[in-house]
Structure 1
Amino acid sequence: MEEIVYYFFNISVIKEVFPYVIDGLLVTILLSAWVIPLGIASGLLVAVLGFVVKNRLVKWSLIAYIDFFRAFPPLVLLIFLYTGLPYLNVELSALQCVALGFMLNNSSYFGEIFRAGLRSVHKGQREAALSTGMKRWQVLWYVEIPQAVRNVFPDLVSNGIEVVKLTTIASVVAVPEMLYAARTAQSMLYNPTPIVLAAAIYLVLLLPMVIALGKLEKRQRVQQVKV
């Protein structure tokens, strides 16, 4: 028992590395605040194009894009961007590679969510709005997208939580997020307590969001049954 406490719950180690791990947490929050909006915006663009454009070539191209990046491992994508682009004389910082890789990966997932949301809006809503003289883009922006977001909001939140967890892979390209800070501290102190500390912080941050998401999903199911 003493060995478990020493190697995994060492208070002196926690006190020593806590400021360093918190610095990594701030980078994680900053990274999440950057990549989640990028993923949402690019995913919405992909969904809207697939929903509005009637050209088959465009539609099949979007389907291929979504399927490809949903199937391509994000860790491999990140390493490819970081180590492969310099051969094409494209120099990106580690943070830029993470942002680009996450945007490509997340746009496919967010795009599928938004596509399902847009399809869930009854076409009668569009026809009624068009009959009032609104232009097609106005109907899309003011009528269809707001309803689509409301219908799939729990899925958007769920995917956002997954993105936060996914930021841990940024450590492979030396972005100093929380896992990177914890691993560095572990290698310096020869003690895995910093990893346990980072895991505990992730749990404290994400568990309330997961619980709130569960309640939100339950409330939405109840509303759908009533309707």
Structure 2
Amino acid sequence: MHKIQVNVGASVTEANKRQAEENREHLEEHGIKAIDILGAVGSGKTMLVEKLTPVLRNRGFKVGAIVGDCYGDDDYQRIHALNIPTENLNTGTECHLDAHMVHHALHHLPLDDIDLLLIENVGNMVCPTDFPVGSHKRVVIVSVTEGDDVVNKHPAMFRECQIGIINKVDLAGAVGASIERMEKDMKRHNSNIQILKTNLKTGAGVEELADLITK
């Protein structure tokens, strides 16, 4: 009897990659630059969008957002309150957004009223890595409260991102986290990654992030 092997994982990721490329082309046709924001639950993804949006607006950008969560609309309501075009995506049992979901979200947004799209991915440091959604840049945010070994535990995530953010730097001493170690680990896994240190409660580092994502 002949055995047939089918690499289901490979076919799924390849299909996602093709859809991601179509998403990017669709965005570019409308003059939109998209930023995929990755990180664990509680790292500061939603607050990052909240703090970044007014800075971008002050620079003349028309901002929109897609908010991913397994369930509910808590984060969506926070972003929607910024009075920007926002689409909520619930993934159910899936621990990441994929390009197909984002494709559908794009068709519910007023793309002609957006030139910079912020995509808040589902809170997870593993699953989103292999599922690009069509963004032009990927940003990963970690907080010192996750432990200073969080970067080293998720090397694939940092290899796939252009910008790495270390958040809640004001709490590093209280939780015994070494910011220096986190920076070194980021550079060890991705020598080209651009690193920022932020305290999103005060807005420290947000202007610098706006510089990086709008280049």
> What interval of TM-score do these two structures reach, taking the shorter chain for normalisation?
under 0.3
Q: Name the structure with the higher helix share.
A: 1
Q: Which protein has greater RCO, CA pairs closer than 8 Å, 6+ apart?
A: 1
Q: Name the structure with the higher strand share.
A: 2
Choose 1 or 2 for highest CA Rg: 1
